[in-house]
């Protein structure tokens, strides 16, 4: 993989975890929103942290789509799972949340799983596509030889 592709994966991690953190901070300031009063959801758009979170999550989505354009989902998703570590650190140091030992253990398991997957190729190799008509010709020829 090239440096550009690693930067795309890094941007998925950074934009995703930062966007979630901004959105969390903003929604804590807005307060609870009941689904029966969905109009209150639009009032959350007046909060600058919510707006910033939305923009970062849009950047995350474009980076994620870019990553999926050059690598398999089974590579991209685990490779970007380092966002869980980033998100946990942001939650502790910026949002001042308590992260229990149990949650840290879950993050460690995710990182271990990423380590297992990271050794594989970023793009699954597929056999070359058959020439149109060649399969049906060879199949009918094999049937003729059996008869």
SS3 for 29-60 is: HHCCCCHHHCHHHHHHHHCHHHHHHHHHHHHH
Q: Is the CB of residue 57 less than 8 Å from the CB of residue 23?
A: yes
CA-based torsion, 111, 113, 118, 122: positive or negative: negative
In this prediction, residue 82 carries a pLDDT of 83
Within the chain, residue ranges assigned H as helices are 3-30, 39-43, 48-70, 73-79, 82-93, 101-118, 134-146
For residue range 31-50, what is the model confidence (pLDDT) as tens digits?
888 877 777 788 888 999 99
In this prediction, residue 38 carries a pLDDT of 74
In this prediction, residue 143 carries a pLDDT of 46
pTM for the whole structure = 0.74
% of residues, the chain, pLDDT over 70: 79
- Which two three-digit tokens encode residue 89? 């650190």
For residue range 18-28, what is the model confidence (pLDDT) as tens digits?
999 999 999 99
In this prediction, residue 127 carries a pLDDT of 56
Residues of the chain with pLDDT under 50: 136, 140, 142-143, 145-147
């Amino acid at each position: 993989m090239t440096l550009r592709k690693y930067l795309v994966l890094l941007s998925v991690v950074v934009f995703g975890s930062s966007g979630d953190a901004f959105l969390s901070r903003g929604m804590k300031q807005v307060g609870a929103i009941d689904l029966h009063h969905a109009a209150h959801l639009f009032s959350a758009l007046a909060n600058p942290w919510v707006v910033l979170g939305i923009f970062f999550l849009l950047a995350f989505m474009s980076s994620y789509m870019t990553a999926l354009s050059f690598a398999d989902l089974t590579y991209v998703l685990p490779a970007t799972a380092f966002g869980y570590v980033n998100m946990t650190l942001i939650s502790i140091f910026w949002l001042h949340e308590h992260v229990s030992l149990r949650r840290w253990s879950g993050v460690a398991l995710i990182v271990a799983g990423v380590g297992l997957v990271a050794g594989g190729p970023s793009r699954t190799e597929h056999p070359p596509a058959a020439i149109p008509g060649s399969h049906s010709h060879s199949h009918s020829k094999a049937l003729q030889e059996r008869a």
